[in-house]
Amino acid sequence: MPQALMKKMKTLLGCIIIVLVFIILPTFAQEEPEPKRKYREITIAGPLVETKPPFAFGPTVKTLRNVTEQIDRIGKDDEITGVLLKIQGLGVGWAKLQEIRDKIIQLRDNGKQVISYLQSGGNAEYLLACATDRIVLMPAGTIGLTGLRAEVMFYKGLFEKLDIEADMLAIGKYKSAVEPYTRDSMSDAQREAIDAILDDLYEQQVQMIADGRSEIDVEMAVSLIDQGPFTAEEAYDAKLVDALQYYDELVKSIEADGPEPIEVISDSAKKPRQAPNLTGFAGFMRLFSMLTSPKQSPTRRGKPQIALIYATGPIMTNVPNDLFTTGQAITPRKLTKALREARENNAIRAVVMRVESPGGSALASDLIWREVMLTQREKPVVVSMSDVAGSGGYYIAMAAGTIVAEPGTITGSIGVLGGKLNLKGLYNKVGLTKEIITRGKNANLYSDYGNFTPAERERVGKMMETTYWDFVRKAAKGRHKTEAEIHEIAQGRIWTGKQAKEIGLVDELGGLDVAIALAKKRIGLSAGDDVDIIELPKPKTFFEILIEDMDIDARVQITQSLSIPVSLARSLPNLYWIQLLAQEPVAVVLPFNVTIR
C-alpha cells in the first residue's frame, strides 16, 4: 500500500476516534439523575356509580371500580412512594365508602404513604380520610363531623289536602314503605327498625374514627361527634386532623420531610384526550364506527374467566334504557340474557353478580331469581352487595351460593306490599270526572277512581300472602334454614350487612374483591391467581340501544294506567313503586333509604 494512502487512512482513523471521544465521553461524564420520591395524586369526588350508562353526555361519571382499580395499580407500582388523596363532596353510601377505605388500608399495608387532603369534609369525607396515614385540612375549612340522622317524609297530610286516598297493604310487621302514605308519624315497628340500623351504623362510624386516629379512642370519638361540627383550628386541637395547610404547603412539607425532592403525578397532568375529527366523509365513517362498535375488554387465551354481572337500580318488568341519563333499572330481560350467557359459555367458570337495588317488582324479581338459581346449579354464583340490596334486591341474590356484603350495606327486608292511590277526590277537585263501565266483579281493581272493595282487598291480600311465603320459602332454601327461622328475621325488616351476617342472611363481609376471591376459590384457584373478568351483558352499540328503547317505549305506553308521570315517580323517594303497582298487585321494596350526610 502506498505510504501516502497509509498516511491518509491514519489521519481519517484519528479523526473518527476524536469524534467518538467527543460523543461518548459526555455520556460517561453525565451525572446520574437525581432520585425523586414520586407521589400519585388521586381525587375522589362526587357520586361513584356501579356502571356507566352506555352513552352519557355531560360531566364524566366515575365508577367505584375505576377508583379501586386505580388504587390497586398504585399498590403494585414500585416507583410510587405515596399517594396524595384529595377528597371532595363524596356521593356514596356506606358500603362504597367502606370498600374504598379497605383499598386505602391495603395500599398502606403495601408500604405506600397515604395523605388525605380536605378543603372541607362532612361525615363521609372524614370517615374516608380516617383510613389514611395523615389528614390535612385547608386552614379555612371545616370538619362537619356529626351524628347520624334518619328522616322519613309523611305524605298523609298532603294527600288529605289534595283529596287523595292511599289504599295500601303490607305483609310483615316491619314492611313500612306504605306508612308515609297512610300515617303522619312512625309506627313503633318502623321506629324500632330505624333505631337498630342507626345504632349499628353509628357504632361503625365511631369505630372507623377510633381505628384511624391513634390519639382518639372510642369514648373520645363519641364525645367529639357530640361536639361537631368543627372549625379548622378546633379540628386540629381535637386531634381530628394532623395539619392545617393549603395544598401547595402540604407538597412543600412532604419535600422537607425527606432527603430527596418529590414529584407529584397528578390527574390534571394526564395528556388530555383529543376530540376525534368527525368532519368530511372520513369523519362520518369514524362516527359510524364509534356508534356501531361497542367497547370490549380483550380476553386472554387460556386464562380462567369469571363473569361480572351488574344488577343496578329498581327492579321492573320493562323500562327504557335512559340513553342520555345515568338512570338505570334491573329487568328480567337484561339479567336473564347475561346469566344465560354466563351459564352456557364453557370458558366462564364462575359468576359474580354485583347488586345495588332497593327492590321493585315481585314478578320481575322472581324471574331473575330463577335464572340465578339455574346458574348456581351449573357454576358457582357469588353475590356482591353494594350500598343497598334489600327486598327485591335480596330476592334476586338469595339463590346464589355465597353472598358478600360490606358491614354498612342495607339488606334484608324480606316482605311485600301492595295497594294504590285513589285520585277520585283530586280529579273532582280540579273539575275532572270519570264514568266507568265494567264487566267482572273485580274489574276496578287497578282503577285510580276508588278504593278497593272488600272483595278486591281480599284478593290483593291473598296474592301478597302467597308472594310473601314464597319469598320466605326460597330464602330458607337458599340460606339453609327453616321457614320459621327466616320468618323470624323477615317480616319486612332491614338489616345492616354486619347484622345480616350475624343472622345468616349474608355469608362474608367485604367488597367486590372479596366476592371475586371467593369465586376463584370455588373453582379451585387462589385469591392471587390471574383471571379474566368478563362484564355481562356485553356492551351494545348506540343503534342497538336506540332500537331497543323504541320497542320498550311502545310497550310501556300501552301498559301504563296510573296517571303518575315516570319522571315524578323517579324524583320522589319510594314513589316509583306506586307507579309499579298500577301494573301488578305486589311489590318487594325497601321501606326507606339510608344515606350518609
Please list the active-site residues. 391
Q: Annotate 245-261 with DSSP letters as a single string.
A: --HHHHHHHHHHTSSS-
Q: Which residues touch 67 (CB under 8 Å, ≥6 apart)?
A: 42, 44, 48, 100, 103
The helix/strand/coil state of 69 is helix
CA dihedral of 492, 493, 498, 503, whole degrees rounded to 10: -80
Q: 3-class SS at 307?
A: strand
Query: Which 8-state DSSP code applies to residue 267?
Result: G
Residue 593 is classified by DSSP as: -
Of 95, 176, 150, the closest CA to residue 493 belongs to: 176
What contacts 535, CB < 8 A, 6 or more positions away? 297, 307, 308, 309, 310
E strands of 290-380, at which residues?
A: 305-312, 348-357, 359-361
CA distance linking residue 177 with residue 577, whole number of Å? 10
Q: What size, in residues, is the chain?
A: 597
In 10 A of CB 23, how many CB atoms? 9
Strand partners, 588: 360
Task: Please give the Cα distance from 213 to 131 (Å, whole number).
Answer: 9
Number of helices (H) and strands (E), helices first, in the chain? 22, 21
Helix (H) or strand (E) holding 300: none
Asked whether the beta carbons of 200 and 499 are under 8 A apart, the reply is yes
Q: How many CB atoms lie within 10 A of CB 259?
A: 6
Residue 140's CB is within 10 A of a number of other CB atoms, namely 11
